[in-house]
Amino acid sequence: MPQAAKGAVAPNPLLAQYRLLFPLICCGVLFLATYGTCKLLVFSSSLHTWQFWQGAWAAQLQQGPLLAAILLAACAAMVYRQLSKQVYLLDFSCYRPAEEYQVTWKRFMAGSRECGFFTKDSLDFQERISQRNGLGNCTSFPPSLHEEPPNCNMVTAREEAEIVLFGVVKEVLEKTGLRAKDIDILVVNCSLFNPTPSLSAMIVNHFKMRSNVLTYNLAGMGCSAGVIAVGLAQRLLAGEPNSRALVVSTENITLNWYSGNERSMLIPNTLFRMGGAGVLLTNRPSDRWRAKYSLQHIVRVHLGRDDSAYRCVYQHPDSTGKIGVELSRDLVKVAGKALTHNLTKLGPKVLPWSEKLLYAGNWVARKVAPGRWQEYVPDFKQAFDHFCLHAGGRGVIEGLGSQLGLSQRQLEPSASTLYWYGNTSSSSLWYALSYIESRQTVRKGDRVWQVGFGSGFKCNSAVWTALRNVDSKHPAWNHLAADTTTEQDSKLRVENNTAAENKSTADRSAVPSTLRNGQNGVSKDSEDVSDKENSICNGHKDLNQDGTASVKDREGDVFAAGESYLAEAKSCLNGQVKHEDSGSGEIKAHSQTLNGKQAVAFL
């Protein structure tokens, strides 16, 4: 039973805890009332009446045990049916990539340059996005993208799927102490990679599951498919009493790494990373005592009838035939609209009466006096204790946090998920929940809200209630020091994000140039860039007197002379960088001094 939301009138704790025994209590009270009435009539009647009622009561007592047994059986069936309708979360696991799959930001940019697929403009664009997208310095890619050039094909895509899927399923089975043969329902969701046989068949084959296991494979449903998979499992469990369901959520990076130069399709390269999650659900009443959470609500919103919403996340080939996922400029607006629809449906189910009355009063006031009252936004912090937001990017998390008025601590699980693991698509909600369990506190009765966005366009959310105090230590967060507080983790993450934003400015200032009268001049006695590692990955160029560009590595200076760098050096001496392709003299980038600081504007 959900704990009363803060600020709302708390229900009777006795009825809240024993609500399933209420039918038994009512039947017992009815039985005692009947018996007491009969006794009262017996003692208030004459001797003749007494003998009549005594005989009638004796006849009823002869059938009493049978009637009591029938009554108890009916009540037990009612209680069992009520328990079977509940869906419980036994446990879940999140994939922790091995160290061999980890890639630093510098290595990512170096690999992007070395593969030869991208133009200089595309590389610069990916670098700028990577500097402010909220990802940390070290995230994980599948083995195929570690090769030079990347080896993306069906074989390597299957390899990635096996690494992630088998890992999370094995971990969640070990956590719950169950065998693969104990699974009755299997639901797998992966949006962009769907081979034949399916991913669910891959799991059945590897773990040798029963032949009568019910398997389902969800495809093309985007980053919110994890909640959809849980909703599907809930509906399936409703028709399969006394069963267990395994939900596996992942996304495949191998075949969906974009090698073209369309900017709207390059953004996923900088955000999506390797990951997955396995969730074990059950409706067995005997499993309730060890379950972590009870599923309260699944709310789904689909805006697919609107063309702009339908195409805001769209997979198609670019002008050169290379397939990628395009993110349109309407994405933020569509996501906000979808979230509003979802909260409108979810609010009446979870908000306390105080918030409902405030919203109703505000609605009436706005109808009576239009323009005088602003729309009241309910405080969902009174409905939920923990928030698992879709880690789609830094802007997504900060935008949701601002709209909902969340604190730094409430945003921390999703922001930390993005920082350490990137956007793992539908499984990112489970990484956030695992962070809450590992680094924060979940108490009995706490309510957890998961919300995700996906192509189509969809906004789906799930509400869970903790059945006990949860203090699990997930391997996905074992790399964080045990004695480090969450506030220190958050401070470190914010500092790293701030430092990332300053990468570009720091890189440009490392070039040996001096500002004179608003123009860039080449100084003969300028100092070399001291950070050799940065100069490898960021491609820093030291302009010498002869216009030759040098790129530093850890061993020494490797000189690469070329006409393009010579032209760039000459144009820098004139105070501007001209567009080489058009030859029109259009300024592509310029720098000037504002109050003693260098400001760079990209046109």
Report whether 201 contacts 48 (CB < 8 A). Answer: no
What is the separation of C-alpha 541 from the centre of its chain, rounded to a whole number of angstroms? Answer: 39
Catalytic residue among 94, 223, 312, 537: 223
Residue from 146, 297, 302, 590 carrying the catalytic annotation: 302
**Cα–Cα nearest to 394, from 411, 369, 410:** 411
Residue 31 falls in which region: left (phi positive, over 0), alpha (psi -120 to 50) or beta: alpha
Distance CA 296, CA 15 (A): 18
Q: Is residue 302 annotated as a catalytic residue, yes or no?
A: yes
Measured between alpha carbons, how far is 210 from 178 in angstroms, rounded to an integer?
14
The active-site residue out of 386, 388, 459, 474 is 386
Helices 486-501 and 408-421: angle between axes, nearest 10 degrees: 60
Among candidate residues 340, 222, 316, the one with its CA nearest the CA of residue 264:
316
**Angstrom distances, CA of residue 348 to CA of 317, 353, 354, 355, 360:** 43, 9, 11, 10, 11
- Give the CA count within 13 Å in the CB-facing half-sphere of 543: 22
Active site residue 190: no
Query: Cα(127)–Cα(539) distance, rounded to whole angstroms?
Result: 11
Percentages (nearest 5) of helix, strand, coil residues in the chain: 50, 20, 30
Q: Would residue 386 show up in a list of annotated catalytic residues for this protein? A: yes
Q: Is 323 helix (H, G, I), strand (E, B) or coil?
A: strand
Residue 222, phi-psi category: left (phi > 0), alpha (psi -120 to 50), beta (remainder): left
Residue 479 is among the residues annotated as catalytic for this protein: no
- Strand arrangement of the beta sheet that strand 549-552 belongs to: 542-543, 549-552, 557-560
Give yes or no for a contact between 515 and 598, defined as CB atoms under 8 angstroms apart: yes
Short-list 137, 234, 173, 147, CA closest to 492: 137
Spot the catalytic one: 423, 497, 520, 538: 423
Other CB atoms within 10 Å distance of the CB of residue 117: 17
Torsions phi, psi of 445, nearest 5? 95, -15
> H or E segment at 402?
helix 394-404
- Token pair for 137: 């310095």
Structural contact between residues 244 and 280, judged by C-beta atoms closer than 8 angstroms: yes
Q: What gap in Å lies between CA 161 and CA 140, rounded to an integer?
A: 14
Reading the block at residue 2, the tokens are 């959900």
Does residue 223 have an active-site annotation? Answer: yes
The three-state secondary structure class of 550 is strand
Beta strand 185-189 with 214-218: parallel, antiparallel or unpaired?
parallel
Note whether 166 and 93 are within 8 A (CB).
no
Q: Which helix (H) or strand (E) holds 451?
A: strand 447-454
Number of Cβ within 10 Å of residue 305's Cβ equals 7
- Catalytic residues, by residue number, are 223, 302, 386, 390, 423
